[in-house]
Structure 1
């Protein structure tokens, strides 16, 4: 584990507005500064773009898909090329915000996504970028990474660059009041997983640990409340903050085995990312516990998850108690695909190499079998 004397680079959006009603800050911030605005949204959020208070010529791309793939990105880039925006706004969950990052840097650059996979390979920003999350899960508004699935290889392509950092991030918990209980649970677990995996990573750092464990604590305190009563504004605000803290964790530290093992569930079988994380979380937390016992105890304490019996049972009961589906077979994943999923997950070295305990391909297959 890294110590306080270890080197780390911390970056944040240039401005962050947080709190109920803060969505009005978007229009105030952009007024008189931009003429051509491109809003990147899913079908639902495209119908409430008026909340942003935009002026000028507004183009809306309303076709963001869950787990966006290269064709989805290319459709957006075609719209962006035609609109020539001087401001791009990501309005939605992580998928919308990730695509917005790429729409702010790729149009007019002559680059395709396959040219810029990796770290700091994108050209300079072509348009200003504002991120407005409508879920409390990914924390993408705070980061510099975008993920897009290659439909041929079924792998996630990760692009990371400081050019994709938001000029303004507006986190308004009121925008999350419409989330159904199931989505609230899944996205909340995703935020928690970002924090947990960063907290236990080989790259963990004290400057991030404080955000990570506080994010876990906020999820432990507020997620069940928001699932039970979606109108609970205190709970919604707590989860929005947990998601933001999870985003702080992703840049300098990032996730580990939980996300690596969960990714094939989304790329191969279109299971929502948060739901995949919830299903996998108890397995990877328990697997890693021998390597990081004290931090594991802190995590379960922060989640208010008693673990008199086992780490696995405590984590499983937490997710199951939120209404999350905890059996892989219930998602119609064929058992015959588990070996290929294990191969795919084990190849995600950018995450697994930072896991606190070495995880083999057979270990991953064992987790899939246990989760089935």
Structure 2
């Protein structure tokens, strides 16, 4: 745990707009910047509604972002960027699109490849403008300086961190999230909450970040069920969008812990969407950490509107029910994960030291395997 006196920095986009109907403001901003060529990095669904951004000049769209983007997916986007030579790169979609947009903004023309920049502060610089517009409320990537892609050779996430990947402008328009289906709304909402919870209970937890973390958890507890029930509930969508942003603030200076480490192999090996993987794992890691963080664990449950407790079984049961009641599939077997893969997954998860070293309680490979078996 950090003290109030521990130095901390929270990078934020210089221009941050939050509110319903703001998406077209990107076009106005781009005109003010004199932008003539833009590359939008998006998934297929959002590629079809790029016109909503009202962008000026020549607009090229890379609309092939995968749910769990890998190096070949990134290389395809980079090749298009080399052709389009954009002055502005826009991430328009969920965390996958925004993460690829960050890398597309910094790598072309730099002489660097993805493996050259893995880790903190290795990116040489950025020559183009970068804008981020989230269309889900989960990752908070619009406000952060990290990007993740999967290396198919190792089945591991490559994590890049650099202030050069901070957006010049981020526009959070909750209206863009109203088309998100209930199941995806639930999973991405729990992902946003997991960012907050893991930062709140981390060894690196900081009082300044705790403020964002606890409020992000409260917002999810208050609004996620409403948004799942009614996707056009404007207040609920806005509350979740802000919760996701707060989760993004948590990722920068503190980052996640065991929850994300244990969830990652579900995405890299079995292509389970990241939010769903985090939701399925969330009850197990929160319960595991409860003995090391009893007071904060009770505060997490209280913020979610659940009975406060630090009892391992009680924590697991109430949070499992919270996720299941949202319609989240909570069994690995139902998601097509073969039982024979659990051993390899546990080995891979245990090797993700950049996250596990933040965990408030040391966790062994066998304890991770036990979580997978319980969740199976």
TM-score range relative to shorter protein: over 0.9
Note if contact 2:299-2:308 (Cα within 8 Å) is conserved in structure 1: no
2:45 alignment partner in structure 1:
44
Take 1:24 and 1:87, find their aligned partners in 2: how far apart are those partners? 15
- Shift in Å at residue 3 of structure 1? 1.0
Take 1:85 and 1:201, find their aligned partners in 2: how far apart are those partners? 39
1:273-300 per-residue CA deviation (whole Å, 9 max, x = no partner) reads 1111111000000000000000000000
Take 1:109 and 1:302, find their aligned partners in 2: how far apart are those partners? 45
1:116 alignment partner in structure 2:
117
1:135 alignment partner in structure 2:
136
Secondary structure of 2:254 counterpart? coil
Note if contact 1:307-1:314 (Cα within 8 Å) is conserved in structure 2: no
Take 1:256 and 1:183, find their aligned partners in 2: how far apart are those partners? 23
The size of the alignment, in residue pairs, is: 372
- Shift in Å at residue 306 of structure 1? 2.2
Matches within 5 A, 1:338-353: 338-353=342-357
- Shift in Å at residue 67 of structure 1? 0.7
2:244 alignment partner in structure 1:
243
| Divergent runs of 4+, >3 A | none
TM-score by length of 1: 0.99
Note if contact 1:42-1:96 (Cα within 8 Å) is conserved in structure 2: yes
TM-score by length of 2: 0.98
Take 2:329 and 2:105, find their aligned partners in 1: how far apart are those partners? 36
Take 2:319 and 2:213, find their aligned partners in 1: how far apart are those partners? 17
2:340 alignment partner in structure 1:
336
Instruction: Indicate whether 1:274 and 2:275 are aligned.
Output: yes
Take 1:98 and 1:10, find their aligned partners in 2: how far apart are those partners? 18
Q: 5+ unaligned residues in a row in structure 1: which ranges?
A: none
Secondary structure of 1:365 counterpart? helix
Q: 5+ unaligned residues in a row in structure 2: which ranges?
A: none
Matches within 5 A, 1:67-146: 67-146=68-147
* Residues 31-40 or 182-191, more deviating: 31-40
2:54 alignment partner in structure 1:
53
Matches within 5 A, 1:246-261: 246-261=247-262
1:285 alignment partner in structure 2:
286
Take 1:11 and 1:114, find their aligned partners in 2: how far apart are those partners? 24
Take 1:65 and 1:71, find their aligned partners in 2: how far apart are those partners? 10
Take 1:254 and 1:2, find their aligned partners in 2: how far apart are those partners? 13
Secondary structure of 1:31 counterpart? helix
Note if contact 1:139-1:248 (Cα within 8 Å) is conserved in structure 2: yes
